[in-house]
Amino acid sequence: MRSPPTDGISSVAFSAKSNKMLVTSWDATVQLHNADENRLLAKYEHKAPVLDCCFLDDTRTFSGGLDCGVKMFDFQSSNEDVIGCHEKAVRCLEFSPETGLLVSGSWDQTLKVWDIRQKEPLVCTEKQPGKVFTMSLSGTRVVVGTSGNHVLVWDLRSMDRPIQKRMSSLKHMTRVIRCSPDGQGYALGSVEGRVAVEYFDPSQQKKKYAFKCHRKNEGDSTIIYPVNALAFHPKFGTFASGGCDGTVCIWDGANKKRLCQLAKHPVGISALVFNRDGTILAAASSYTFEEGEKEEKVADNVYIHFVQESQVKPKPKKKSS
């Protein structure tokens, strides 16, 4: 990608209407790119590193980070507005087209719901059992992963209490949760190089499973890399995982098989996202300090992969003879 941020990349998001792409960074900027033309269109700044973003529509966006504010920006008019704040960093943002509501999750252990159509946009504040690390939407459901390995499922139509409370089926810290496009469940990645696939329907939870990934054997030992990013293909329901080893793997969850592995990136993957029709996979390659400070710094960038159908389409099961 041309004109990448000058510091670590924290999130990448595609518009639901075009191949416009948002990129947030620890350099306190939010960039708008045209992925088709590999061109930086515009950018705006926060007062501190930015951790997440999402589109409202093709020209208006939301972003938040260490300055604790939830900012709305209009790229057409260059108008910006802080619609509200958390007490600590804003870690996650999701906009729900079904309800017209914005959801923000924070390290202050709260989830806030906003309606920008109202004069007073804050709808509610819901306490979480730990710091919000990751969040994903499935229709009107919001799945939240927090510190302490808690997973909560909320319904935006009734935020009185979570509709489900779970513990992650993975033992180690949750890095990312992403909901499947069929609305049946979600995938969860942890720092211990594992991915779990779970289901919303308790009667289907017997089908849940977990697998090891993003590992490397060296002699008698195995190096384990955190899974930082997951992204579901919008058409086929397969999903990509990105780890601190710099690799992106694409998985057929239904058949529990790896479909392919993309060429290794210069440094670990910090964010992954498919575009609206699944023809592009954007992978942010950015060091996430899992090994502490390093003298030699690799440049941060977003790599645009034009996806072949054979890389993301499930292969039919072979008939047994």
Sign, Cα dihedral of 147, 149, 154, 156: positive
The residue behind tokens 């384990």 is 224
Ramachandran category for residue 253: left, alpha or beta (phi over 0 → left; psi -120 to 50 → alpha)? alpha
pLDDT value at position 294?
65
93 contacts 24 by C-beta, under 8 angstroms: no
pLDDT digits (tens, 9 = 90+) for 127-180: 999 999 999 999 999 999 999 999 999 999 999 999 999 999 999 999 999 999
Confidence of residue 271 (pLDDT cuts 50, 70, 90): very high
Query: Which of 141-150, 275-284, 308-317 comes out lowest in average pLDDT?
Result: 308-317
Question: Does the structure show a pLDDT above 70 at 35?
Answer: yes
Residue predicted with more confidence, 63 or 263: 63
Question: Does the structure show a pLDDT above 60 at 234?
Answer: yes
233 contacts 278 by C-beta, under 8 angstroms: yes
pLDDT digits (tens, 9 = 90+) for 100-125: 999 999 999 999 999 999 999 999 99
Mean pLDDT over 262-290 rounds to 93
Question: Does the structure show a pLDDT above 70 at 212?
Answer: yes
Q: What percent of the chain has pLDDT over 70?
A: 97
Question: Does the structure show a pLDDT above 60 at 321?
Answer: no
pLDDT digits (tens, 9 = 90+) for 123-142: 999 999 999 999 999 999 99
pLDDT value at position 204?
93
pLDDT value at position 122?
98
Mean pLDDT over 306-310 rounds to 95
Query: Which domains, ranges and CATH numbers included, belong to the chain?
Result: 168-288+300-309 (2.130.10.10)
Confidence of residue 299 (pLDDT cuts 50, 70, 90): confident
**3-state SS assignment for residue 91:** strand
Query: Which of 59-68, 91-100, 281-290 comes out lowest in average pLDDT?
Result: 281-290
Mean pLDDT taken over the chain: 94
pLDDT value at position 176?
98
Question: Does the structure show a pLDDT above 90 at 287?
Answer: no
Question: Does the structure show a pLDDT above 70 at 292?
Answer: no
pLDDT value at position 184?
96
pLDDT value at position 290?
67
Question: Does the structure show a pLDDT above 80 at 199?
Answer: yes
Give the C-alpha separation, 13 to 52, whole Å. 9
Confidence of residue 58 (pLDDT cuts 50, 70, 90): very high
Query: Which of 183-187, 225-229, 247-251, 314-318 comes out lowest in average pLDDT?
Result: 314-318
Confidence of residue 298 (pLDDT cuts 50, 70, 90): confident
> Which strands, in side-by-side order, build the sheet including 280-285?
269-274, 280-285, 301-306
3-state helix, strand, coil in the chain (%, to 5): 5, 50, 45
Greatest distance between any 2 Cα atoms in the chain: 66
Helix intervals (H) in the chain = 309-312
Question: Does the structure show a pLDDT above 80 at 320?
Answer: no
Confidence of residue 295 (pLDDT cuts 50, 70, 90): low
